[in-house]
Chains A and B, each alone.
Chain A
């Protein structure tokens, strides 16, 4: 168990290297990249350590999912950045990842080894990972929308931002759909039916519908940048409600999926 207690140190290292990396990036690009990679890799190493120590995939509690998210968000943003040769999204995505790490630092985990029988399935890891990847890409889109909202409509900056957001949503929505499909098949195996209108399922569907509406809205109104950014903000709120808010709602007791402890 002791190895796990290094988490606060790793998180602090990640926060520090990310900050330094973002500062160094514009002037000394290789140094910046090295620092950002180092911070992200240290979180990855921490996840592996936790996985091994707990003898189960660390994807069960809210804090564990936040940790994955902080690891995946910089990666998701980098993929889109590298593919479409952009730099600025990192300045939005990495602070957001840092925020989630900070939440974890202020909410210490108990690191529970136990995993209920229903979660012992080959679908567990792909299902939750697909969702967390989706959350990472969709959050990158949200982070971009903050920039776009302040940009002048029709300006280069606004269009560039919208392009990044659309590409992130396209990938994120793909993962969201995969997560949903894997979840349905898993539910059939574990509970006898694909869909039970369980609160968590309902909110996952709402999140999916939100981004589905966004995709079709963009097809219909390719030039309406401001409404698109506002749309991304609203959809992200639904996503957060699904991820965290549910545990605070009165219906949480009835969900078999709420992350406990």
Chain B
């Protein structure tokens, strides 16, 4: 950056350098919905696995039920992770900003001249 560079010049340069993500308006919402759907599917598969395993005495069918149950757990965990990732990001970002602010204020207070005077006094 040169000292004579105007804001507009800098803007043009920064825009040219900007890595623009693939246009995907609404993609987070799709992922969030997919996450919710996977959680529901997981729940349904879990109930199905339970019912299947209790309505048979065949070890083969029960084996299938175990597989379905594991699939249910996988779907639920994946769905939950997706849902949390795309629904709470905004909130967590704000929370982190707040945490960062609190730490800065605390640091400012500790670094203020005479901050430790009371403690040092006899």
Is B a genuine binding partner of A?
no
Query: Interface of A with B (CB < 8 Å)?
Result: none
